[in-house]
Structure formats: structure tokens, C-alpha cells
Amino acid sequence: MSFKRRISYFLVHTAKISNKEARELIISQSVSVAGKLLKENELIDDFSEIRVNGRLLREKTKMVYFKFNKPPGYECSLNEPVDNNLASFFPQNNHLSIAGRLDKSSRGLLLLSNNGKWVEQVCHPKFQKSKEYQVRLDRIPSEEFLQHFRKGVEIGGGTTLPCVCEVIHDSTIKVVLKEGKNRQIRRMCHHLGYRVVDLQRVRIENWRLENLTEGEFEEFAP
């Protein structure tokens, strides 16, 4: 995920100069970020253009946003040393972060971006973004199961928030959550005596999976 650093840190590691030299450049107003001359050692983002004495040191980075249909069997990681990671699907896009993870066995919608602030706003629990799933169980759910699921289920020392849970057809249910505990739906179902056969996320807030095939991604404007 993207985060901010002091401009002096960037100068030291990119221009290969000392901390003292970096501070002198800043004090002399020789450093500009996004066209603005700096007067002090400010925090900067990972994307703005940086110039020193008019010389381009870093080009402005384009913000990109992707919808991706994650196939089952892949870890929600872009770290190449991790087995079955997602990096091979995005060979031309560095510095992406994943907004809204799925466990290895699950499939469906992921959102990715190099805009760390946007990613945090989508995936941090405090923002309570709505996430919709289609879940196939090992048998047709009872009314008791649906009522318990909607009200909240005790998992891992805490009770889940009330949520939407409706039957779509036979053993397939629609679930809408505004929280995202680890393997939450699978653990809720297990607690109520059911097993998840298939779990697919089809929506995060207003972004829908729609017609993306498994392993396919498309760029969008947030």
C-alpha cells in the first residue's frame, strides 16, 4: 500500500546524496513537487512529479484502478515468493495493492489500485463498505439458519454484525456484509452446521463483477 515519506528520504535514496545535501536543496528551494517549490521537508506521496533545479527526478505516476475476477486456488497476494500469487495476472502493473481480499478457495471480485489512500478507504473495516456474495451450501438452508445468520453469529470470540442473507435458489444464498473478518462466511456457516461448497463475491459497494471471466481484469474510473 502506498504511504507518504519525507522528501529528504526520497532525495537521499533516489539522487544518492547525503541527508545534509538533501536538506540544503530543500532550504534553497531547489526542489519542486507537482510544480510547487518546497520550503521545508514535507511529506510527499508516491505519485507526484519531482524536480531538482528543474531537472526531472521522477515522472508523475498515473493512478490505475482494476476490477479483477479472482479464480479459486490463488492467494490474494502480489508477492511473487508466495505460492499461487496473483502477480502473473498483472505483469505490467507495479505497486498495486488489493482492496478487499478473498481466501484461497474463494473466487470473484477483487479491486486493485496503486492509490494507497483509495485502497484503504475501500478495505478498512471502519468504512464498512458493502460486499455481496453468492454462496452455495452443502444443503438447502433452514429458516433457522437464515435467521441466525442475519442476526449475527459467534465466531472467534466476537459476534458478527447483522447482515443480509437470502435464498437465491435451492442451496445458494445471497449474503451482504459490511465487515470482513477472516474467512467470515465460511466460519459462520460452519458454526451453524453447514459447509460452503462455493463462494463468489459479486459486488463491492457500487462495483460489480458483471461479465468478467475468471482471471480477467478491466480498468475503471472510481
pLDDT-based confidence at residue 34 (cuts at 50, 70, 90): confident
| Residue 6: per-residue pLDDT | 87
> Which of 77, 134, 129 has its CA nearest to residue 103?
77
Domain carrying residue 73: 62-128+207-222
Catalytic residue at 198?
no
Distance CA 64, CA 123 (A): 17
Distance CA 14, CA 56 (A): 12
Whether 81 and 25 share a structural domain: no
End residue of a domain, out of 58, 81, 99: 58
With a cut of 90, say whether residue 93 has pLDDT above it. no
Whether 16 and 82 share a structural domain: no
Q: What are phi and psi of 46, to 5 degrees?
A: -90, 5
Per residue in 168-204, pLDDT (tens digit) is 999 999 999 998 888 999 999 999 999 999 999 999 9
Whether 13 and 74 share a structural domain: no
Number of domains in the chain: 3
C-alpha cell at 91: 505483469
Q: CA torsion sign, 77 to 214 to 88 to 60?
A: negative
Whether 218 and 121 share a structural domain: yes
With a cut of 90, say whether residue 47 has pLDDT above it. no
Domain CATH code at residue 152 = 3.30.70.1560
Domain CATH code at residue 18 = 3.10.290.10
Domain CATH code at residue 102 = 3.30.70.580
Whether 68 and 124 share a structural domain: yes
Whether 212 and 122 share a structural domain: yes
Whether 193 and 140 share a structural domain: yes
Distance CA 74, CA 82 (A): 10
Whether 134 and 163 share a structural domain: yes
C-alpha cell at 213: 471471466
Per residue in 191-200, pLDDT (tens digit) is 999 999 999 9
Provide the residue type at 175 as one letter: V
Q: Which of 45, 46, 103, 198 is catalytic?
A: 103
Mean pLDDT value across residues 128-156: 95
Whether 218 and 124 share a structural domain: yes
Q: What are phi and psi of 65, to 5 degrees?
A: -135, 130
Whether 139 and 193 share a structural domain: yes
| Residue 145: per-residue pLDDT | 97
Whether 112 and 219 share a structural domain: yes
Whether 186 and 122 share a structural domain: no
C-alpha cell at 16: 544518492
